Structure 1
Amino acid sequence: MQQQVDLGKSVLKGVSRSFYLTIRLLPRLMREPVSLGYLLARASDTIADTEQVPAGLREACLAKFTPALKDKEVREELIELIRTSFIEYQTNDKERLLLERLDDVFHWYDCIIEWAWDAIAVVLDHICKGQMHDIRHFAVNRHASLEDAKALETYCYQVAGSVGEFWSEVGYQSNHRFSRMERALLDEAGGEYGIGLQLVNILRDLPEDYANGRCYLPVANAGDKEEIMRAAREWRQKARTYIESGFTYARSIRQWRSRVATVLPAMIAKETLDLLDRASWEDLERGVKVDRATVKRCLRQALFY
């Protein structure tokens, strides 16, 4: 138990940024599986993004990630690969600490309630498949952009939309009266909500991805900044539509703490999209992020949602 508390404070807070606030708002029974799921997903994301490591090795490690949850031999192989091939390249101290403590995170997984084993394994499988496809598409096959809207939305579903469905599963396992909405409709809204949040991340990070030779938006010429910005206008509108599903999802939740935690990211995402609507390419390069005053305002609004 002390180790879990330590991971939550020393590791989770460091790598989760604003999402840490969302996790703290959750009811106790939801907090542990969501916290653990986030740490595991963030670890796989760090593996996927360590571009100093050959793409084939990153893909191989991600292929081991979900099996390592339940297969101790695979887990040992993965931990050793990470120790020898990934940790030394981490310039972010918080992400380095996460990889150094990954074996402890896996041990936390061993101790959680049984229903959460499968829920976390399912969502990690989706996330890792999306990350592996990302590596193959951009790093191995050297494509400059995703081929079409379906490819982008599929990727966003794998790495984030599936998290919306995971959120529903955790909610219902923690409280059988979690939502007023029919479960299938709730899962659909949660999936769309996650897609919207991932689109906001992509739209905010366009210059960083451009500098790395990739564009997640489906454009004909990924080297044309003006074309990327035109495509971004269209995808910001789509992101708004998906984020509205997050508000719909949140309104259906009966328990107050769960509702506040669920709606807060949607409110922050909506504010971010407003900033992106006004941002130039140079603004994006400097970084577009809602300020603390806006986050506090969103929190106050969420408390009475």
Structure 2
Amino acid sequence: MLPATVRDQMGLAYLFARAADTIADTDLIDREQRLRYLTQFRMQFSSSAGARSDLHAIQAALIPHQADSAERVLLQRLEDCLTLYDQFDPADQERIRWLMGVLPDGMAMDLSHFQGDSAQNLTAFQTLDELDQYTYYVAGCVGEFWTRMVCAHCPSMSDWDVTKMSAIGVRFGKGLQLTNIVKDLARDLHRGRCYVPEPLLREAGLTPVDLLNRESLPKFRPVLMRLIKMAIEHLDQGWMYTMALPRLEIRQRLACMWPILLAGETLKRVAAAPDLLDPSVNVKAPRSVVYRVMAMTTLTGGCGYVGTAYWGRLRKQIV
């Protein structure tokens, strides 16, 4: 859906982000090694030619462990991706280099903070600030990168205050990541990761281990609703960001409307789910809802009135 002027840059940045995520998630490799490979991968975006010498070592270590064929092909084609990166305008290279200097911090935070990979080694964030920092690293910075890139290439956005809108873009990304966190709560718990800060749990008389018991959901619900409200407040900023886009930027509007509205549909289901703490249950908006949202917004040309009315109804159903 993105404008042609930024499609290649955004697409390539996405592939680099997926590659970094694959490095972090290759469980068959020791945690310390994965952290080292993440550092080496960041260095691929350095202007130093010597930094590229580590790429083959990363590929040799990781490719044999990829069960997913798409991730294996991506790692195999990283040299091609970097060749395309080298052909970009220096300013675009700098924007992607900035993103790949920040985004892997979230993956490194996962590897460093959550030392285990199962419920037996369950660890939680210690403060709300940690959660906020994490959501910035893994998603908020993407909103900042996105804003810088489109403002550089879309003439209709030349009057945007890039600094101000980048900060709002950060909120947008954080809202989407918080949605993912509450949606995937049970599965993450069974992977040893509790993104819910312990102080919030203590206020409800809970510990991270208690969340492994499905019967803890009624007691946990006030904490859950607080997290959902935080996500909604961030997404409200994302909606303001979307409505600030020029009306003729229909592709950008739709590219922003869809994730916000689908996040709202997901949060509505998370808030009402009776089995949220069951890791076998996948709480998400069904395809019929996805198609409805896409059709409604597309057929109305990204109309702000229609989209805002939909978002407003969703909010009332959630909080």
1: CA distance, partners of 2:158 / 2:267: 27
Q: Could you give the per-residue CA deviations for residues 189-214 of structure 1, whole angstroms, max 9, x where no partner exists? A: 10000001111111111122111111
DSSP 3-state at the match of 2:156: coil
Match of 2:54 in 1: 77
Q: 1:65–1:236: structure 2 CA closer, same or farther, 3 Å change rule?
A: same
AA at the equivalent of 2:177: Q
Amino acid at match of 1:246: G
The one of 166, 181, 185 aligned to 1:206: 185
Structure 1 residues 293 and 133, CA gap change in structure 2 (3 angstroms): same
CA contact (8 A) 1:162 1:191 kept: yes
Which of 123, 139, 149 is the aligned partner of 2:128? 149
- Are 2:96 and 1:113 aligned? no
Give, in whole Å, the separation in 2 of the partners of 1:148 and 1:95. Answer: 33
Q: 1:284 to 1:242 in 2, by over 3 A?
A: farther
Contact kept in structure 1, 2:131 and 2:196, CA below 8 Å:
yes
SS at match of 1:239: helix
Q: 1:129 to 1:271 in 2, by over 3 A?
A: same
Structure 1 residues 207 and 110: alpha-carbon distance in aligned structure 2, compared to 1, 3 A threshold: same
Aligned to 1:15: none
Task: Give 1:228 deviation, angstroms.
Answer: 5.5
CA RMSD after TM alignment = 2.0
Q: Does 1:260 align with 2:254?
A: yes
**What is the aligned partner in structure 2 of residue 93 from structure 1?**
69
Q: 2:264 aligns with which of 234, 256, 270?
A: 270
- 1:284: how far off? 5.4
Query: Percent of counterpart pairs with the same letter?
Result: 30
2:50 is the alignment partner of 1:55: no
CA contact (8 A) 1:130 1:155 kept: yes
Other structure's SS at 1:224 match: helix
Provide the rounded CA distance (Å) in 1 between the counterparts of 2:59 and 2:95. 24
Q: Unpaired segments of 5 or more residues in structure 1?
A: 1-24
Matched residues in 2 for 1:31 and 1:261: separation?
A: 12
Identify the residue that residue 160 of structure 1 maps to in structure 2.
139
- Counterparts of 1:285 and 1:245 in 2: how far apart (Å)? 32
Question: Runs of 4 or more off by more than 4 Å in structure 1?
Answer: 227-230
Identify which range, 224-233 or 85-94, moves more after superposition: 224-233
Cα distance between partner residues in 1 of 2:49 and 2:286: 43
Structure 2: which 5+ runs fail to align?
Answer: 202-206, 304-319
Q: Verify: 1:287 aligned to 2:299, yes or no.
A: no
Q: How many Å apart are 1:223 and its aligned residue?
A: 1.0
Q: TM-score normalised to the size of structure 2?
A: 0.82
Is the contact between residue 156 and residue 198 of structure 1 (CA under 8 Å) also seen in structure 2? yes
Q: How many residues align?
A: 279
Match in the other structure for 2:297 = 302
Q: CA deviation at 1:267?
A: 1.1
Is the CA contact (8 Å cut-off) linking 1:222 and 1:228 kept in structure 2? no
Summarize deviations over 1:129-184 as a string: whole Å, max 9, x none: 221122111128x7701111110011100111000011111111111432765333
Measure the CA separation in 1 of the matches of 2:81 and 2:91. 17
**Cα offset, 1:283, TM superposition:** 5.8
Q: Which has the larger radius of gyration?
A: 2
